[in-house]
Every structure is written in structure tokens, then in C-alpha cells.
Chain A
């Protein structure tokens, strides 16, 4: 059974810092991994999708890497801004052919001005 863990559970940084969020998963037989952000009481916004054959994806100030063999992914946020404050979730999709995502518990990020 796939289990996804995110560390740290919460993170507070001053504006401008570069930061790394970690995601680990127990079963390396994944199809893809997706990073989301969630603002309080809202739905999920997709940030980056990494296919199992890829090592990293970039979008603006965000960079996500994937090491399938070690069961790890990291989300790097450059030059953090107060607007980045949200909960960040990673989710993995297995190789079963179904669309089920298994989510981590998230990292709550607070960026202070």
C-alpha cells in the first residue's frame, strides 16, 4: 500500500528565502507525481506534474525533482513571497492504470513580509 510523507509539516520563513519541501513515498512503482497548493478552505491548484521517466520540472520560481528509485521528490521555491503562503501537497499516481492519487499530509508554509 502506497504511503506518502511530507516533511516538514509546517515551515515559517521570511520573504526572499529559498526553500525546499520534501515528499517521500514507499512504493517506487509510480506513474507520475504531482505537486499542488491549497489555500485555506479552497480547492487544489496544480503546480507541477512529473512523469516517472522525468527527473525534474520547472515553472517560474518553482522546481520539482523526482528520484523514483529512492522514493523522493522535492519542491524548490526560489525567492519566496508572502503570496506563496499556503499548504503544499504532493500526490503520487500508481502504475495500475487508474487515476487514483495518494496524497501526503502536506506542508503548511508561511512566508512573512
Chain B
């Protein structure tokens, strides 16, 4: 079974721009969660989607948004990028509630 895939793997953007990251979960997995990892804050939860519905959201500003499609693929969008948004963005999928979570390789976003 193919693992979680994330595209693109690397991105360089300028302050004020917006960016869209994509995550394809493991086949059959309906839950997708997003995390931000920075050296200072560690891994922080962004949001969780299940069956196209956002079920939970972390403590991030409204510039961070996401969605999930009927095939369970998910995208997250960050608008009006700030330098502090530079991070590794990780996506995780699981079959459903309470299941083991599997992470993708991440997208490294650099904001200049």
C-alpha cells in the first residue's frame, strides 16, 4: 500500500503571498490531520478532516485553512504569508477515529 504523499516537498515563497499544500492519504483512510513543525514550537496541530468535514481546529489564525475532497485528499492553504510561517508541514492519515496515524514526508515551506 502506498504511504501518505505530500506535494510539493519544498516551497519558497515571499511574505504576503499565499500557498496551497496537498496531501493524499493512504488508500481507504478517511481521516486527515495537519501539523506544523518548527524548531521553537515543536509539532503543533492545525486541523483534522473526516469525510470532508473539519472536525477539529488548532490554535492558529484564520490565515490557515483547509479542506478535504470526496476522495479523502486534503489541501491546506496559508494566505498572507509571514516569516514565522516557515516550517515543515506534516500531514497524517488514519482509517478513522482512534486509529494509528501515519505521517507523510512533509512539505518544507520557506518564507522570505
Which residues does A use to contact B, with CB under 8 Å? 31-32, 34, 36, 41-46, 49, 89, 91, 93, 96-106
Q: Which residues on A sit within 8 Å (CB–CB) of B31?
A: 99
| Chain B contact residues, CB within 8 Å of chain A | 4, 6, 31, 33, 35, 42-43, 45, 48, 50, 55-56, 58, 88, 90, 92, 94, 97-98, 100-106, 108
Taking A45-B103, A98-B97, A103-B43 as given, write out 13 further A-B residue pairs in contact, using a Cβ cutoff of 8 Å, ordered by the A residue number: A34-B101, A42-B105, A43-B104, A49-B100, A91-B43, A98-B48, A99-B50, A100-B45, A101-B43, A102-B45, A103-B35, A104-B42, A106-B42
Determine how close the nearest CB of chain A comes to the CB of B105; give it in whole angstroms.
4
Question: Are B45 and A101 interface neighbours, CB within 8 A?
Answer: yes
Given A31-B98, A43-B90, does the pair A99, B48 have CB atoms closer than 8 Å? yes
Whole-angstrom distance between the alpha carbons of A86 and B97 in the complex? 29
CB-based contact A41/B108 at 8 Å: yes
A68 CB → nearest B CB, Å: 15
- The answer to whether A99 and B42 touch (CB under 8 A), given A36-B103, A43-B103, A44-B90, is no
B101 touches A43 (CB 8 A): no
In the assembled complex, the Cα of A32 lies from the Cα of B100 at a distance in Å of: 9
**Alpha-carbon distance A44/B101, docked complex (angstroms):** 10
A104→B44 CA distance, assembly (Å):
10
How far does the Cβ of B97 sit from chain A's closest Cβ, in whole Å?
A: 6
Q: How many A-B residue pairs have CB under 8 A?
A: 62
With A43-B90, A89-B43, A105-B42 known as contacts, the answer to whether A99 contacts B105 (CB < 8 A) is: no
Residues of A within 8 A of B108 (CB): 41
Please indicate the chain B residues that have their CB under 8 angstroms from the CB of A106 in the complex.
42
Interchain CA distance A71-B108 in the complex, whole Å: 33
Residues of the A chain whose Cβ atoms lie less than 8 Å from the Cβ of B58: 100
